[in-house]
Amino acid sequence: MAQNSKRLLEMLSAQPVVPVVAVESAAEGVALARALAAGGLKAIEVTLRTPAALEAIMAIASEVPETLCGAGTVLTPRQFDRATKAGAQFIVSPGATMELLDAARSSEAPMLPGSATPSELMAMLEEGYEVLKFFPAEQIGGAAFLKSISPVFPSLRFCPTGGISMKNVRDYLALPNVVCVGGSWVAPKAAVEAKDWDAITALAREAVALRN
């Protein structure tokens, strides 16, 4: 396995759903992380899709120690470096480039690179990666695709993300090559904007119960 993949697998396998969130401020990120952790979802992915993302990661790492905060939508080595310096404990990318893989080799933070085609899966295997993000999951074949490639790539494990909700999440979690799923439904935008943290905690508990 690639560097620290075992550690990444331990993080991801601890819960069935990893919340994928975008936050508008550090305070919002802290409150959201606390609400999700209270419901049992302690590993979260804060995407680098807003100006506040890095500040939020830093604040979560400092103020919510029970949370394992990762950085998502990492596209470049510079973003990788800035995210880890902010305190991100794992890195998630929608794909992979050689430059990004080089950045991962020199970092203690494990990376979850995205792969979607057989050729990309083979390339990741050659680089030593066996834990991958499958994105955008529903749009590129969904659970049926992951089931079909399992005999061909028996060592690979996936965290599918994209288009997953309570309506289809069990289809993914039933697959032996799925470690967990990434999902935004546990932190809906309307609830975050309304600061309805109790509702988000309830959604987190519902997600945790998917494996009970």
Positions annotated as catalytic residues are: 45, 133
Reference 50, options 68, 80, 73, 81; nearest CA is 73
CA distances from 200 to 20, 33, 102, 118, 207 (A): 13, 10, 37, 36, 10
Residues with Cβ < 8 Å from 175, sequence gap 6 or more?
A: 143, 146, 147, 150
